[in-house]
Each structure stands twice: as C-alpha cells, then as structure tokens.
Structure 1
C-alpha cells in the first residue's frame, strides 16, 4: 500500500511516497481503510522533531481520519468490518490503511461525508473539550478567540456560537477576521493594528471577557489575560506563535480568574468515554447541518508535502484534507 513517510526530520519537501506492507490488527485494534485524512499545524512540527509527540522514524504524519474498517483484532467488540468510522491516532494517518486502537474509533453516520468527518477529531474535538469540559462556557457569556481563522480558532468560533456565546474573533488581518465572521463571530479585533487588551475591554464595556480561547500564546497571551473578566477562564490551547509566555501570577489573583490547561490528547487517553461522547456530539451537529466545517483544500496522498506547506505558511483557512 502507499504511504507518505517521514524518514528523516525536515520540512515538508523531505517527505516521500513509498509502498509499505499493509498493517495487521493486533489485540484491541482495528484496521481502517483511509478515505480521508486531515492535517493540522502540529504535523508541520512533528516532521521537524519540534513537537512533544516524537514518533520513531519512519512514520506518516496525520493524526485524524475517516474510512471503512477492513479488519478487527482480538478483543474488539464495538466495531466490525465494513463499519464507517472516524479515528484519532496521534500520527500515521497519511497512508492507505491504518491500524488504530478500538478506543480511538467512533462510528460514522452514513449521512456525514468522509472528508467532513476526517477533520473533526483534533480541532473540533479540542474545542468542544476546551469550551465545555474545561471552560464551563454558558449561554450568554463572551468568548475571545485568538487565532480565529486557524483550524482550532475557526472551530472555537463555530462551537462557541452553537453554545450560545457571544464571540469576539481576534486575528492578524482583515481577511482572516472576515473569514471568522462567516462562522458566527459578532465582533472582531485585528491585533496587528489594535491593542488587544484595550479593544477587548472596549467591546465588553470594561467588564472583560468571560473566556479566552488561546491557541497562539506569545506576546498576545498576557494582553488577553489582562482583558479577562472577574472569575474569567483563560484556556491554554497551544503556542502557534512559537514563544511560550511567562504570565505574571498577580493578574490571576487580582481578577479571581483561572488559567486552565487544555491537553486534548491526554484527555482522550484518560477519559475515552467522554472523548467518544464529544465526537458523537460533533457528528450529530454536522448531520443536522448545525456545524459546517470549512475545507480549505483537498489534496491527493502524493501531494501531502504541498498540503503541509500550506499549513506551515499559515495560508490555510479551515481544514486541509488528504484523500487516497
């Protein structure tokens, strides 16, 4: 079968397409024939050995996929061959068949296309876990979403809107902010031109925002924390800006606010039943037309390096999908 392989750490152009042996389903595993896989920004880091997940070489990028089960291993009871499924696998999905733990597989309704389902695991799963599981977001509250046009940022705009919140989208260009407004943002902040703290305070009549959703970090983190309301929740999603900020803890004391870590991958391992419930909720929203993930582009497997370059250069608006 065909697979995109990282055989030596480097930029996307160093990846190669090769024939490898098909996987076998071990105990507790299922083999899924990949119909669509999705890429995320962290895939650009994994292939350069700059991410906390460090698979042994060679490996395939791609942490999420949708497809049809072709085989099941000993002890598998919930899934059977022929089932349509979505799956999260940390890495390894950019190949024609993938062996996945049964615990990381969820049944896929017939009325949800593979390409839409493939991109739900990481960005939307992270966001639902963040806003509902960690942020305790309530209808009527205000959410500031940093990096609002990126993968998790767009998901946060959509899900927060579905949950009845007021969304303030924050991004670095008018084009990106216009994109965020398409998915439910009612207000916007261009933090390349405006002071983030000042503008968020203005938009909330001085009260500050109830929840900050921050996948960016860097210089914007402290500004956003300073704009958090009394008893606000600051959600640490990631550090796309590169720098991990150092936060003055006196701000947390003075505001009576919380800084809450969002480690979706670890939550999946520790709380698999809740993970499955979140995925089922996302699939239900998609099936009902209430959630409409935007696909930036679909690439054939052989063009995975070009797709990763789109992510590395921050040109992708929405999900980047790979099909075999």
Structure 2
C-alpha cells in the first residue's frame, strides 16, 4: 500500500511517500481501506515530536479517517463491508489503516465519506467542551476563539443547534466572514484592538457564559475579561503556541470556572459515553443542524501541502485527503 512515513521527527516536507506492507488486524482490530482522511493541527505537532503522544518511529501519521472495513480480527465488532469512521492513534495517511473497537463508529447510511472523515475529532471535541464541560444552556452567550478553524466551526454550529447565542473570534475579515456564514451572531477580528469592549456592548454588559478556547495566550487572557457571572472558560488547546495562564482573580470575582476538555480522554476512559457523543453528532447531522465545512480536498501525494497550509493558518474549516484523487 502507499502511505506516508515518518522516519524521525521532521517537517511535512521531510516525510516520504512509500510502499508499505498492508497490516494484519489483531485482537479487537479491523483493517480499513481508507476513503478519506481529515487533517488536524496536532498532526503537524505529532510528526515533529512536539505532541503529547509520540508514536514509535517509524510511523504513518494521520489521526482521523473514514473508509470501508476489508478484514476483521478476533474480537472486532466490525465486519467486512462496514462503512466506518474513527480516530486511530495514527496511520490514516495511507491506503489502509488498523482501527480499534472503541475508537471507531459505523457511518450512517447517506453520509458521504468526506463528511464522515471530518466527524471523529472536531465535532465530539466541541460537543464535550460545550455540553459536558461547559454545561451550556439555551439562550446563553458562547465565545469561540479561532472560530474559523475546524473545532471553532464545529463549536459554532453545535452551540447554535442547542439554542445559544454565539460570538466568533478570528484573525482577519475573511475568516470572520466564515464565522458568520457558519452561524455566528457576531464575528470579531482578534488582531484588532477593541474586541473586548465590543463583546461587552453586544451582550448588553452580560458577558460570555461559555468560552471555548483552542488558542491560549493573549486571546484567552483577554477573553477572561468578559466572562459572565458563573461563566465557564473551557480550554481545549493552545494552538497559538502559549499555554493559557489563568488570572484566578477573574474567576473568583465572577464565581466562574476554568475547565479542560480533552475528547481523546473519553475514548480511553469512558468509551460508552464517547460512542453516545458521536451518535448525537450524527443525529444532529441527519437533522441538518450541523454540516462539516470542508475548505479543500487533496490527493494522498499532497499531504505535505495540506499540512503546511494548516500550519501556516492559511485554511479555514477542515482539509481532507481523498484517497481516490489523482
């Protein structure tokens, strides 16, 4: 099979596209012919050795995919012909990948593979950030930093589906327009001064009930200034490069809280809850309340191009690798 290979921690351009043996499924595993794989920012971190998960070298990157089961090992809940999507630890940037029971779900009939490939990571991440950790209630105000990113768009769509009022932050007017197109009631450019005051004005002084932040750094620090009474500031990452430093006095004075939300933790610790979250996301998809925003698809040979676009923040929404593309 054709697959990308990381021999040592490297940049996207230093990976190699090579021929590898098709793996054999073991206990509780199934072999999937990948139809589409989605990219995430942590893919860039993983191949450079900067992610908290460090696969044994050499490895094939890619942590989100959809495809068709072609073989099942002993104890697998899947059978050949099943359409599945999931979050393997790595390996999705190849023509075949091994998946495990608790990290994989059946794709409902009628869901295109490109859309299915986008579902396993960003939508469940936004789901648990808003509902489980953020305790979002209808009518509350939600602030989504990096609102034009994959998780950001998922959070905007889910928050609107659950009856919230949403403000998206993004870098530049083009990405602010994406936030509005995806349902945000207001989109503000965080590179411009004054967005904190604009939030106060737009919410009539109420502030933000739930902050969903994958950015960290100065953006998070400024967002805490508009956290409402008993607000919840949910940390899901630090793509800006600086880990959040919480001004605890802001939490104390607002009777507020700062909490973390790591989707992968549910896969390992509470697979039954994780499966319910994915099922709810597909149910909302079937109702037309959420819809993956795919900016562009690439061929397998273009994975480095896609990863570089992601790392430069040239993209919005999701980037998808189409295994059938020339």
TM-score range, shorter chain: over 0.9
Match of 2:45 in 1: 45
Shift of residue 139, structure 1, vs aligned partner: 0.9
Tell me, in whole angstroms, the C-alpha distance in 1 between the residues paired with 2:95 and 2:200. 49
Preserved contact between residue 106 and residue 276 of structure 1 (Cα < 8 Å): yes
- Using the TM superposition, give the Cα deviation of residue 158 of structure 1 relative to its aligned residue in structure 2, in angstroms: 0.9
Q: How far is 1:88 from its partner?
A: 0.9
Structure 1 counterpart SS, 2:298 = strand
Q: 2:173 maps to which residue?
A: 174
Q: TM-score, normalised by structure 2?
A: 0.96
Partner of 2:130: 131
In structure 2, distance between residues paired with 1:11 and 1:144: 33
Question: In the alignment, which residue of structure 2 is the partner of 1:84?
Answer: 83
1:33 maps to what in 2? 33
1:57 Cα shift? 1.3
Contact kept, 8 Å, 1:196 with 1:224, in 2: the verdict is: no
- Distance in 2 separating the partners of 1:247 and 1:45: 24
Matches within 5 A, 1:127-206: 127-206=126-205
Distance 1:231 1:29 in 2: 44
Alpha-carbon offset, residue 198 of structure 1:
2.2
Rounded Cα–Cα distance in structure 2 between residues aligned with 1:219 and 1:173: 16
The answer as to 2:320 corresponding to 1:321 is yes
Q: RMSD of aligned C-alpha atoms?
A: 1.1
Deviation at 1:196, TM superposition (A): 3.7
Provide the secondary structure at the position in 2 that maps to 1:219.
helix
Residue 24 of structure 2 corresponds to which residue in structure 1?
A: 24
Q: Could you tell me how far 1:238 is from its partner in structure 2?
A: 0.5
Does the 8 A contact of 2:46 with 2:53 survive in 1?
Answer: yes
3-state SS of 1:144 partner: strand
1:296 paired with 2:258, answer no
The TM-score with structure 1 as length reference comes to 0.97
Match of 1:100 in 2: 99
- Could you tell me whether the CA contact under 8 Å between 2:208 and 2:226 is conserved in 1? yes
Deviation per residue, 1:248-280 (Å, 9 max, x gap)? 212111110010101111122111111111111
Please give the alpha-carbon distance, in whole angstroms, between the structure 1 residues aligned to 2:246 and 2:257.
Answer: 12
Equivalences for 1:106-117 in 2 at 5 Å?
106-117=105-116
Q: CA deviation at 1:217?
A: 0.5
Q: Which residue of structure 1 aligns with residue 223 of structure 2?
A: 224
The runs of 5 or more residues in structure 1 that have no matched partner are none
Show structure 1 runs of 4+ deviating over 3 A.
none
1:5 aligns with 2:5: yes
Q: CA deviation at 1:66?
A: 0.5
Contact 2:102 2:267 in 1 (8 A): no
Structure 2 runs not aligned, ≥5 long: none
Question: What do residues 72-91 of structure 1 show as CA deviations (whole Å, max 9, x unaligned)?
Answer: 11122x32111111111132
